[in-house]
A and B are shown apart, each in its own frame.
Chain A
Amino acid sequence: MSAAILLLIGLVMMSLGYLVYSRFIAKHIYRLDPDFRTPAHEFEDGIDFVPTNRFVLWGHHFTSVAGAAPIVGPAIAVIWGWLPAFLWVVMGTIFFAGVHDMGAIWASVRNKAKSVGSLTGDVVGKRARSIFMIVIFLVLLMVNAVFAVVIAKLMMNFPTAVLPVWGAIVVALIVGQLIYRRIISLPVVSVIGVVALYALIWAGPSVPIQMPAEVAGMSGNAVWILLLFLYAGIASVLPVWMLLQPRDYINGLQLFVGLLILYGAIALLNPVLVAPMINNDVPAGTPSLLPLLFVTIACGAISGFHGLVASGTTSKQLNKETDARFVGYFGAIGEGCLSLAAILVACAGFASLTDWKAMYSAFGQGGVTAFVQGGAYVIHNGLGLPEVTAATLLTVMAALFAGTTMDTGLRLQRYIFQEWGEIYNQQWMKKPLPATLLAIGSCLLLAFGAGGADGSGGMIIWPLFGTTNQLLAGLTLLVITVMLVHMRRPMWYTLLPLCFLLIMTVLALVLQLKTFFEQENYFLLGLDIVVLVAAILVALECAAALKRHRALAAAEQSDAS
Chain B
Amino acid sequence: MPAERGDNWRAWLSQARFFLEESYSARYRGAIARSRRDHDDLFMLLVFSEMMGVPNPASYYTLELQPLLLERFHDWHRRMGMEHSPLDHFRCC
Q: Give A residues with C-beta under 8 Å from B.
A: 46-48, 50, 52-53, 55-57, 59-60, 63-64, 179, 185-187, 190, 239-241, 244-246, 248-249, 252, 313, 316-317
Contact = CB atoms under 8 A, between A and B. Distances in A.
Contact of A245 (B17, B21, B22, B28): B28
A52 B18 CA distance: 12
Interface string B28-54: 111111110000000000000000000
Given A186-B17, A239-B35, A240-B35, A59 B30 contact: no
B9 interface: no
A292 B30 CA distance: 39
A252 B20 CA distance: 11
A241 B17 contact: no
B26 A52 contact: yes
Contacts of A52: 22, 26
A50 B19 contact: no
A240 B24 contact: no
9 contacts: A52-B22, A56-B23, A60-B27, A63-B27, A187-B16, A239-B32, A245-B28, A248-B27, A249-B24
B28 to A, nearest CB: 4
B32 A240 contact: yes
A53 B19 CA distance: 9
A174 to B, nearest CB: 15
Given A187-B16, A187-B20, A317 B35 contact: no
Closest 3 CB pairs of A and B: A47-B33, A56-B22, A48-B30
A218 to B, nearest CB: 35
B87 to A, nearest CB: 24
Contact of B24 (A47, A48, A64, A179): A179
Contacts of B27: 60, 63-64, 245, 248, 313
Contacts of A50: 26, 29
Contacts of B21: 186
B21 to A, nearest CB: 5
Nearest to A64: B27
Contacts of B20: 186-187, 190
Interface residues of B, number: 19
Given A186-B24, A245-B27, A56 B19 contact: yes
Given A48-B30, A244-B28, A252 B35 contact: no
Nearest to B27: A60
Contact of B26 (A179, A185, A317): A317
B26 A56 contact: yes
Contacts of A248: 27-28
B57 to A, nearest CB: 16
A553 B35 CA distance: 45
B19 A240 contact: no
Nearest to A55: B19
Given A53-B22, A59-B23, A187-B20, A47 B28 contact: no
Contacts of A53: 19, 22
A240 B23 contact: no
B14 to A, nearest CB: 10
Contacts of A244: 28
Contacts of A249: 23-24
Contacts of A241: 28, 32, 35
B27 to A, nearest CB: 5
Given A56-B23, A59-B23, A239-B32, 18 more contacts: A47-B29, A48-B29, A48-B30, A56-B22, A60-B26, A63-B27, A64-B27, A179-B24, A186-B20, A187-B16, A240-B28, A241-B32, A244-B28, A245-B24, A245-B27, A245-B32, A249-B23, A313-B27
B33 A252 contact: no
Contact of B23 (A47, A48, A60, A313): A60
Contacts of A246: 24
B64 to A, nearest CB: 10
B16 to A, nearest CB: 7
Contacts of A48: 29-30
Contacts of A185: 17
B72 to A, nearest CB: 13
Contacts of B16: 187
B26 A47 contact: no
